[in-house]
Amino acid sequence: MDTAPIRTALVSFGISSRTFHAPFLTTMPGYSLDAVVERNSDIAVGKYPWIRTHRSLEALLADDGIELIVITAPNDTHYPYAKACLEAGKHVVVEKPFTIRSAEALELCRLSERTGRICSVYHNRRYVADFLTMREILQEGMLGELHTFTAHYDRYRPDPRTYGFWREFPEPGAGVLYDLGSHLIDQSLVLFGAPKAVLADIRRQKPYSQVDDYFDIQLDYGFLRVTLHSSMLVREMGPRYQLHGTKGSFLKYGEDPQEDRLKAGDLPVGDNWCHEEEAFHGLLHTELQGEVVKKKWPSKKGDFRLYYQNLHRSIRQGEPLSETPQHGHNVVRMIELAFESSEKRAWVEVNGLIPF
């Protein structure tokens, strides 16, 4: 077994690379951050003086010392960059959304199989406190048979962005559904599998918006109805998640603390990374062992490191990959179906997903 650290490079060094990738690649013993692609600046080498800076993806792909490439460039680059990396014999991690079009995602799935290189999508919201806690509650049947699941990813951002401007340009892959919706859709698919049909309302709420900044999506699972919602004009947040079953309910407020800690410069090290404060624990009101209980329910510990730990085992030991290109494909396909539903103002049958 190869015990050497996985030699890794980042494509771009924006908010995503600085917040969600570089802190892990430079602190986890199974990785080394060796290179970056920055076309016009030297921000990365100022923070990590040992790395090599390339001015193009082509120059990076010629770097024989790199095994794994993490793509955090704008959404429209994900497919061509990932394709080039796989064809060059590199393993690749692609930020969400995996691609803009499901046909592109399907091609990457096939290319990964053909080259024998790993292609993973960075669905890190599987490793946050609320999702891990909800998954445990559902797996243990604490709420009985679930009939309602509501998830909100709201923010209050009435003014134009001061960073990440490309996200608000009217280009393919822009807008809140591709951005935040990718997280909520992936969580739903992991928890419940493929729905039967989708009904979506996708719109622009802010007067200056050129791309969607609001969505309300319903997923039909038969007895279970799932609602996924996002708006950029919510100043007072309600519950982030609501779960209602035949025996009880679970309500969860607040957001996993990892992102804020990473943005503040904290490093993801030690056993205490990263516990959620008790004030943000969810409310469980249900029946357990014949007794009705209504109390705070301790959150599971979120840990983005779990993503990179699994990836390391997959590359070095051949273990199954948790976040596969097929998962990335299914999220993009659901986004396409949601847009189709919104345009038709009608329910659309879910089709074209790769079996779980």
Same domain, 342 and 222: yes
Same domain, 176 and 273: yes
The label of the residue with tokens 């659901």 reads 334
Same domain, 275 and 293: yes
> What pLDDT is stored for residue 163 in this prediction?
61
Q: Give the domain extent around 32.
A: 6-123+307-321
> What pLDDT is stored for residue 166 in this prediction?
59
Q: Is residue 354 a part of any domain in this protein?
A: no
Is the backbone peptide bond immediately before 80 cis, with ω within 30 degrees of 0?
no
CB 232 within 8 A of CB 206: yes
- Cα–Cα distance for residue pair 225/27, rounded to 1 Å: 41
Q: Is residue 97 a part of any domain in this protein?
A: yes
Tell me the whole-structure pTM to 2 decimals. 0.96
> What pLDDT is stored for residue 169 in this prediction?
77
**How does DSSP classify residue 75?**
G
What is the identity of the amino acid at 70? V
Q: Is residue 215 a part of any domain in this protein?
A: yes
Q: Which tokens in the block code for residue 191?
A: 């928890």
Q: Is residue 1 a part of any domain in this protein?
A: no
In angstroms, the Cα distances linking 50 to 32, 34, 63, 316 are 10, 7, 15, 24
**Mean pLDDT, each 10-residue run in order, the chain (356 residues):** 90 96 97 96 95 96 95 96 98 98 98 98 97 98 98 92 67 93 98 98 93 97 98 96 98 95 95 89 95 96 97 97 98 98 98 93
Question: Torsion-angle region of residue 141: left (phi > 0), alpha (psi -120 to 50) or beta?
Answer: left
Task: Report the number of distinct structural domains present in the chain.
Answer: 2
The label of the residue with tokens 């029946």 reads 287
Same domain, 22 and 64: yes
> What pLDDT is stored for residue 172 in this prediction?
87
Q: Compute the C-alpha angle 87/332/166, nearest 5°.
A: 80
What is the identity of the amino acid at 181? G
Same domain, 172 and 237: yes
> What pLDDT is stored for residue 168 in this prediction?
74
Same domain, 150 and 272: yes
Same domain, 215 and 100: no
